[in-house]
Amino acid sequence: MKVERIWAPTLPQALAQVKRRLGPEAVILSHGPARPPIWRFWQSWVEVVAADAMPPSPAPPEPAAPPQELLAAISDLRQEVARLGRPDSLVPQPWVHGMARLARRGVGPTLAARLLEAARRAVGDVPVEEAAADEALRTALAAWLAERCDPDPRAPRTVVLVGPTGAGKTTTLAKLAARAVLERGERVGVITADTYRIAAIDQLRTYADILGVPVKVALSAEDLAAAAEAFADMDRVFVDTPGRNFKVPLAVAELGALVRAVRPDAVDLLVPANLAPPAAEELARTFAAAGFTTRFVLTKWDEAPSPAGTFGALALLDKPLAYVTTGQAVPDDLAYPGPDSLARAVWEGGDLT
What CATH number has the domain bearing residue 186? 3.40.50.300
**pTM for the whole structure:** 0.76
Sign of CA dihedral 224, 225, 230, 235: positive
Beginning with the edge strand found earlier in the chain, give each strand of the sheet holding 27-34 in spatial order. Answer: 3-8, 45-51, 27-34
In a domain, 60, yes or no: no
In a domain, 56, yes or no: no
HSE at residue 77, side-chain half, CA atoms within 13 A, is 6
For residues 319 and 342, what is the distance between their CA atoms, to the nearest angstrom? 17
For residues 335 and 316, what is the distance between their CA atoms, to the nearest angstrom? 22
In a domain, 345, yes or no: no
pLDDT of residue 48: 75
pLDDT of residue 138: 96
pLDDT of residue 88: 41
Q: Are residues 121 and 205 located together in one domain of the fold? A: no
- Provide the domain limits for residue 218: 158-336
Do the Cβ atoms of 342 and 149 come closer than 8 Å? yes
Q: Are residues 315 and 223 located together in one domain of the fold? A: yes
CA 28 to each of CA 136, 190, 296: distance values in angstroms, whole numbers, following the listed order? 52, 21, 28
Q: Are residues 251 and 296 located together in one domain of the fold? A: yes
Q: Are residues 103 and 217 located together in one domain of the fold? A: no
Q: Are residues 114 and 194 located together in one domain of the fold? A: no
Do the Cβ atoms of 193 and 258 come closer than 8 Å? yes
pLDDT of residue 37: 54
In a domain, 299, yes or no: yes
For residues 83 and 108, what is the distance between their CA atoms, to the nearest angstrom? 18
Q: Where are the alpha helices (DSSP H) in 4-92?
A: 11-22, 68-85, 87-90
Name the 3-class secondary structure at 320. Answer: coil
Q: Which amino acid is at 166?
A: G
pLDDT of residue 151: 93
Residue 289: its H or E element: helix 277-290
pLDDT of residue 239: 97
Our count of domains for the chain comes to 3
Residue 98: its H or E element: helix 93-104
Residue 34: its H or E element: strand 27-34
Q: Are residues 212 and 308 located together in one domain of the fold? A: yes
Q: Are residues 276 and 249 located together in one domain of the fold? A: yes
Q: Are residues 107 and 168 located together in one domain of the fold? A: no
> Taking Cα atoms as reference points, which of 268, 351, 342 lies closest to residue 107?
342
Q: Are residues 19 and 124 located together in one domain of the fold? A: no
Q: Are residues 144 and 287 located together in one domain of the fold? A: no
Mean pLDDT by 10 residues, the chain (353 residues): 77 80 75 60 68 56 53 51 46 87 91 93 89 95 96 96 92 95 96 79 87 92 95 97 84 91 96 93 94 96 90 95 94 93 89 70
Count Cβ atoms below 10 Å from residue 59 Cβ, excluding itself: 6
Start-to-end C-alpha separation, the chain = 46
pLDDT of residue 79: 53
Beginning with the edge strand found earlier in the chain, give each strand of the sheet holding 236-240 in spatial order. Answer: 215-217, 188-192, 236-240, 158-162, 266-272, 295-299, 321-325, 334-335
In a domain, 79, yes or no: no
In a domain, 58, yes or no: no
Q: Are residues 182 and 145 located together in one domain of the fold? A: no
Task: Give the burial class of 264: count Cβ atoms within 10 A of its Cβ; 0-12 exposed, 13-18 middle, 19 or more buried.
Answer: buried
pLDDT of residue 258: 93
For residues 29 and 6, what is the distance between their CA atoms, to the nearest angstrom? 12
pLDDT of residue 147: 95
Do the Cβ atoms of 344 and 314 come closer than 8 Å? no
